[in-house]
Amino acid sequence: MKMIIHIFFTLSLVSSISFASVQDFCVADPKGPQSPSGYSCKNPDQVTENDFAFSGLAKAGNTSNIIKAAVTPAFSPTFAGINGLGVSLARLDLASGGVIPLHTHPGASEVLVVIQGTICAGFISSANKVYLKTLEKGDSMVFPQGLLHFQLNSGKGPALAFVAFGSSSPGLQILSFALFANDLPSELVEATTFLSDAEVKKLKGVLGGTN
């Protein structure tokens, strides 16, 4: 009986400490240190309603680039109020033929909603199975955390989508840029991708890689 009482007392004590440490929010302080869990908290006395609102997704991104697409993020600390809340947003603008190349978000799963146009989207599982879907206006698709995925404008006009992430800092790594937009020696890229020297140098030249 004493053991049971002791266990309940310990649990209640831990619970009270846990709830006592919970805050309503932790608005990002970009001047403070950053940890894997997010940015440090802004002084609550300096927090305003503007920290919880963001207008950056209203304007279309510039699609005059090699991928004919633009991603406008609403991540922490740009959108300071989402810090630590486990959510974030982004806007995808894709010109005709535009593509968000194969990429991963190591820190979050993603949900996409098509607002305009037609988007071919898909992801590849760890078993190398492809899940591919053509999405029209109003359609949505989920991309599991850490898996390679892409979005391609397969319609005749521009496409627009909004995406939501299960993290305020989902992270991003684009596969083609990771391979060909850095100074990783060409011979190592060739050995690990089975591409020829000419192919690797061509892709490095297109994406700005060296070495």
* pLDDT one digit per residue (tens) for the chain, 211 residues: 554 444 344 334 433 333 334 688 999 998 888 877 778 999 999 999 999 999 999 999 999 999 999 999 999 888 999 998 999 999 999 999 999 999 999 999 999 999 999 999 999 999 999 999 999 999 999 999 999 999 999 999 999 999 999 998 899 999 998 889 989 899 998 998 889 999 998 999 888 888 8
Q: What is the CATH number of the domain that holds 79?
A: 2.60.120.10
Q: Is residue 112 part of a domain?
A: yes
The gap from C-alpha 103 to its chain's centroid, in whole angstroms, comes to 9
- The pLDDT score that the predictor gives to residue 2 is 52
Domain range holding 115? Answer: 46-56+67-171
Q: What is the pTM of this model?
A: 0.82
Q: Is residue 1 part of a domain?
A: no
Q: Report the alpha-carbon angle 117-120-125, nearest 5.
A: 150
- The pLDDT score that the predictor gives to residue 15 is 39
The DSSP 8-state label assigned to residue 115 in this structure reads E
Retrieve residue 194's tokens: 């089975």
* Residues constituting the chain: 211
Say whether both 73 and 165 belong to one domain: yes
Contact 168, 77 (CB under 8 A): no
Ligand-binding site membership of 187 (annotated): no
d(CA 10, CA 67): 57
Say whether both 50 and 150 belong to one domain: yes
Compute how many other C-beta atoms are within 10 angstroms of the C-beta atom of residue 69. 22
Q: Is residue 156 part of a domain?
A: yes
Contact 139, 114 (CB under 8 A): yes
d(CA 59, CA 55): 8
Q: Is residue 38 part of a domain?
A: no
The dihedrals phi and psi of 111, each to the nearest 5 degrees, come to: -120, 130
Ligand-binding site membership of 190 (annotated): no
Ligand-binding site membership of 103 (annotated): yes
Ligand-binding site membership of 110 (annotated): yes
Retrieve residue 18's tokens: 């846990």
Contact 79, 54 (CB under 8 A): yes
Contacts of 83 (CB under 8 A, 6+ apart): 25, 26, 27, 28, 38, 39, 41, 76, 77, 168
Nearest to 103 by CA among 71, 134, 135: 71
Say whether both 82 and 161 belong to one domain: yes
Contact 136, 114 (CB under 8 A): yes
Q: Is residue 31 part of a domain?
A: no
The gap from C-alpha 11 to its chain's centroid, in whole angstroms, comes to 37
Number of domains composing the chain: 2
Say whether both 111 and 202 belong to one domain: no
